[in-house]
Amino acid sequence: MNVLEIILQVREGLEARRGEVGGAATYGVRAVLGLTFLVVLWAEYRGRSVVAKGPWSTWTLLISGAILLVVSILNARSISLGYGGPLHSVPAASLPSLTTLSRLADVLAFLSTISTKLFLSSVLHPSAGSAFRKLLQVGALILSLSFLPIVALATLPVEGIYCETDGVRNGCFAAETWLALSEIVAGFSTFMDLALVFIALKMTLRRGPFDPRERPTEALAIACGAGAFIAGIIKLTKFAPLETGDFTYYGPSLLLWSVTEASLTILSASTIAPYTARERIKRPRSPPTDDSSDFMDRRAFGALGCEERGDVGRRDENEVLLRSMVRAGLL
């Protein structure tokens, strides 16, 4: 028995206990995403800037968290329509709604992940100029807001928007087209995970010893980035079963790793503030200049002259005292 069968059995048990069909496999995912969203909201409420770069970062992260919540809801709806089974076992009436919701939920997860990573790359990159940062910020905001028309389309069970019947396609989008697009974007997302981890490590090593209060935060940011990279690699291995039309893997497996990657990215973003803070620079003491050396020489020469003049004065006083004693007959 593999992990997928265990997940399906747990899901069936939850459905039987609750007396309803569908959506039970994503309850845990929705809970994790909701907690992630609340953590970011709590950090903003407490007045701690998420990435210390102004409102762009705040809204990008909040919108990404909202996208992930919408993703989990759409996936729950698609599982409830398809009962978590293979594509050939899905009723024909619910096939367009199931495939539309599932594919668009997948695209939403990628949009959320990439929008967050685009902004983080502009924040973390040590040599990024202000114009480049603003360009990436605008791109991240546009990607974050692009989920609105996609969600509107996903709520409409349009017949013929996506279907596949025994290799004959009647004006429908082929499954291979969606899979190829999703796989390309997933590969880019995984590469961004690795790039962000390297950038964070580089900036941490350049800055030298940690502040003891920042060590847990920096370690958590790097660990979440590494975890997102691992989740992205696992997600890339889940595309092969979809080529056979088996959507059983999509519900509990592919989207689970997709939202795991996106959640870890947002958690890393919410703890990235130490990397954007001002670096503590220890200014070395400047060596003495020529002017200061000349000044010290003049001071030393003046002190030496005062000592010589003092010796001469004391010698004259001794001579006067000696003459007075001779005159007085003491000597």
51-64 tens-digit pLDDT: 444 555 556 666 66
pLDDT at 259: 72
Q: Do 156 and 61 belong to one domain? A: yes
d(CA 194, CA 128): 18
pLDDT at 22: 39
Give the CA count within 13 Å in the CB-facing half-sphere of 10.
13
What is the residue whose two structure tokens read 């996106």?
262
Q: Please give the DSSP secondary-structure letter assigned to residue 254.
A: I
124: nearest Cα among 60, 61, 58, 200 = 200
Q: Do 192 and 318 belong to one domain? A: no
Whether residue 281 lies inside any domain: the answer is no
pLDDT at 169: 47
Are 261 and 187 in contact, with CB atoms under 8 Å apart?
Answer: no
CATH of the domain at 99: 1.20.1070
Whether residue 43 lies inside any domain: the answer is yes
pLDDT at 235: 79
Whether residue 272 lies inside any domain: the answer is yes
Q: Do 70 and 187 belong to one domain? A: yes
Whether residue 285 lies inside any domain: the answer is no
Answer yes or no: is pLDDT of 207 > 70.
Answer: no
Residue 201, classed as helix, strand or coil, is: helix
Are 84 and 11 in contact, with CB atoms under 8 Å apart?
Answer: yes
**Averaged over 41-70, what is the pLDDT?**
57
Q: From the CB of residue 193, how many other CB atoms can be counted at a distance below 10 Å?
A: 25
Higher pLDDT, 207 or 281: 207
Q: Do 115 and 144 belong to one domain? A: yes
Where is the domain boundary, 276, 301, 323? 276
Which residues 6+ apart lie within 8 Å of 200 measured at CB? 124, 218, 221, 222, 225, 272, 275
Whether residue 95 lies inside any domain: the answer is yes
Answer yes or no: is pLDDT of 323 > 70.
Answer: yes
- Token pair, residue 45, equals 């409420």
The per-residue pLDDT of the chain, averaged, comes to 59
Q: From the CB of residue 41, how many other CB atoms can be counted at a distance below 10 Å?
A: 14
Q: Which of 211-220, 268-277, 284-293, 319-328 has the lowest mean pLDDT?
A: 284-293
d(CA 229, CA 166): 36
Q: What angle do CA 174, 179, 181 make, to 5 degrees?
A: 100
**Averaged over 234-257, what is the pLDDT?**
64
**Averaged over 30-40, what is the pLDDT?**
58
Q: Do 15 and 51 belong to one domain? A: yes
Give residue 131's domain range.
3-276
d(CA 101, CA 98): 5
Whether residue 310 lies inside any domain: the answer is yes
pLDDT at 219: 78
% of the chain residues with pLDDT over 70: 14
Whether residue 255 lies inside any domain: the answer is yes
Q: Do 217 and 300 belong to one domain? A: no
Which residues 6+ apart lie within 8 Å of 54 measured at CB? none
pLDDT at 218: 72
Q: Do 320 and 244 belong to one domain? A: no
Answer yes or no: is pLDDT of 158 > 80.
Answer: no
Total domains in the fold of the chain: 2
CA distances from 169 to 34, 127, 156 (A): 39, 49, 21
Q: Do 259 and 295 belong to one domain? A: no
Q: Do 300 and 202 belong to one domain? A: no
33: nearest Cα among 242, 259, 293, 286 = 259
